[in-house]
């Protein structure tokens, strides 16, 4: 915890970590006789939830205190009044919001449909941070699910895939969405998951060579245009590939864009200039171009997508976006929480506008 607090002080540009220390001490004392299925002290879980939020860019100490203590109200003798007395009104209200969401029962498939997300989850969460805390909590649970009973693994993975991953997507937090989907697949269809992992691992060196070749060529060509670009190659996420194989009844060799290259440039005009270069270097596949800059997705996502055929005859996807678009693509509404100036109320207004379409 001491190491985390030092990291937090640098990120938050603050020296006073007394609130985080008080939250940690309260949680550690309340959970002192509790252990996780791994045999580790229970305090490991709330600390992990706090770190996930921090990795999303949330540095507000009141927000980070909540994952440390919200389980104390549900699982120990600590009361909401004690939270309010020790940690303040804001933390207590957030803990109360998380506790209420934890009591929602997802008893039928109909309750999980998209049009009910606002009614079930977001209408109850008066503060965006409550939803982010629940997502962080679920992500850590899924990361440690291997220690649970098989029936519990399947039940939790199904709920995660039906509710939490789509919720992360609707908030634009793709970093969490992708990991939740991949972890869910591991328990819902383990045979397919490990077969897919094995097939992709066998080709890993070939794939990395191919992506490096593409990245090096694009780096040279884009630099020659006088554009400062950040370029990376990456394989697609397992669940994305799995879903395509299932819905399109195709084998792995038949799936387009197993590989993706992401190009981040300073301006929108440079996005289109780089797109032109990509289409000059590689053959575009008809019908595979999407302009999400001109027509953003409803969750705010913006990027240019195109799928092209490389020099080896292997197709790959290219995503082109600005740094601001990239932050939104990775962190969604959390990016606004970190980067937008202004009060909590102003940032909450942004959240409500973004969710008006839910």
Lowest average pLDDT, out of 259-273, 321-335, 342-356, goes to 342-356
Q: What is the mean pLDDT of residues 194-213?
A: 79
SS3 321: strand
Residue 222 predicted with pLDDT over 70: yes
Selecting from 1.10.620.20, 3.40.309.10, 3.40.50.1100, 3.30.460.10, what CATH number does the domain 193-331 have?
A: 3.30.460.10
Please say whether the beta carbons of 306 and 284 come within 8 A: yes
| pLDDT recorded at residue 177 | 92
CA torsion sign, 129 to 132 to 138 to 143? negative
Least confident stretch, 159-163, 224-228, 261-265: 159-163
Identify the sign of the CA torsion 206, 210, 212, 216: positive
Q: Is the pLDDT of residue 258 over 70?
A: yes
CA count, 13 A, side-chain hemisphere, 177 = 15
Return mean pLDDT, the chain: 84
Q: What is the pLDDT of residue 228?
A: 95
- 262-291 average pLDDT score: 96
For 2-173, CATH gives 1.10.3210.10
The domain segmentation of the chain, as residue ranges, is: 2-173, 193-331
Question: Distance (Å, rounded) from C-alpha 92 to C-alpha 115?
Answer: 30
pLDDT of 176 reads 92
Q: What proportion of the chain, given as a percentage, has pLDDT over 70?
A: 84
- Establish whether 75 is a catalytic residue: yes
Model confidence at 37, in pLDDT bands (50, 70, 90)? confident
Q: Is the pLDDT of residue 349 over 60?
A: no
Q: What is the mean pLDDT of residues 309-330?
A: 89
Is a pLDDT exceeding 70 seen at residue 346? no
What's the CA dihedral at 189, 193, 195, 199 to 10 degrees?
160
Average pLDDT over residues 5-22: 92
Say yes or no to pLDDT of 87 above 50. yes
| CA torsion through residues 134, 139, 140, 145, sign | positive
Residue 338 has pLDDT above 50, yes or no: no
Q: How far apart are CA 289 and CA 311, in angstroms?
A: 19
Structure tokens at 280: 């000059």
The two tokens of residue 320 are 């082109």
**Which of 179 and 251 is assigned the larger pLDDT?**
179
pLDDT in tens, 39-57: 888 899 999 999 999 998 8
CA dihedral over 307, 309, 310, 313, signed as positive or negative: positive
pLDDT at position 202, please? Answer: 62
208 carries an active-site annotation = no
Q: What is the pTM of this model?
A: 0.79
Of 16, 55, 75, 209, the catalytic one is 75
Q: How many CB atoms lie within 10 A of CB 227?
A: 18
Q: Which of 6, 29, 40, 74 is catalytic?
A: 74
- Give the three-class secondary structure for 40: coil
Mean pLDDT across 261-286: 96
Rounded (10°) CA dihedral 113, 53, 238, 233: 130
Q: What residues contact residue 236 under an 8 Å CB cut-off, 6+ apart?
A: 257, 258, 259, 260, 317
Band of the pLDDT at 329, cuts 50, 70, 90?
A: confident
- pLDDT, tens digit (0-9, with 9 covering 90-100), for 88-130: 999 999 999 888 877 766 554 455 554 455 555 655 556 778 8
């Amino acid at each position: 915890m001491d190491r985390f607090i030092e990291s937090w002080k640098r990120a938050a540009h603050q020296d006073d970590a007394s609130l985080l220390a008080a939250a940690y001490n309260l949680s550690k004392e309340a959970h002192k006789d509790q252990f996780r299925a791994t045999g580790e002290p229970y305090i490991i879980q709330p600390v992990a939830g706090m770190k996930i939020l921090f990795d999303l860019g949330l540095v507000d100490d009141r927000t980070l205190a909540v994952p440390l203590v919200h389980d104390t109200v549900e699982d120990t003798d600590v009361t909401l009044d004690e939270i309010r007395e020790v940690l303040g009104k804001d933390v207590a209200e957030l803990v109360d919001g998380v506790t209420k969401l934890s009591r929602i029962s997802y008893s039928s498939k109909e309750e999980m449909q998209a049009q009910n997300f606002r009614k079930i989850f977001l209408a109850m969460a008066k503060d965006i941070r409550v939803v982010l805390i629940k997502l962080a909590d679920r992500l850590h649970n899924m990361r440690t699910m291997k220690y649970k009973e098989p029936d519990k693994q399947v039940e939790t993975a199904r709920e995660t895939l039906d509710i939490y991953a789509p919720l992360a997507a609707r908030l634009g937090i793709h970093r969490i969405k992708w990991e939740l989907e991949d972890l869910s697949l591991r328990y819902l269809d383990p045979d397919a998951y490990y077969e897919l992992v094995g097939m992709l691992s066998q080709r890993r060196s070939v794939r990395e060579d191919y992506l490096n070749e593409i990245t090096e060529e694009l780096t040279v060509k884009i630099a020659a245009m006088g554009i400062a670009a950040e370029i990376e190659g990456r394989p697609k996420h397992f669940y994305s590939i799995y879903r395509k194989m299932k819905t399109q009844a195709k084998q792995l060799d038949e799936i387009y864009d197993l590989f993706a290259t992401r190009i981040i440039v300073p301006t929108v005009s440079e996005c289109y200039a780089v797109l032109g270069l990509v289409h000059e270097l590689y053959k575009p596949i008809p019908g595979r171009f999407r302009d999400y800059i001109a027509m953003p997705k409803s969750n705010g996502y913006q990027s240019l997508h195109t799928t092209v055929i490389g020099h080896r005859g292997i197709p790959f996807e290219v995503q082109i976006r600005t740094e601001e678009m990239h932050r939104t693509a990775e962190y969604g509404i959390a990016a606004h929480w970190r980067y937008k100036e202004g009060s909590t109320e102003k940032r909450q207004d942004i959240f409500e506008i973004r969710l008006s379409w839910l």
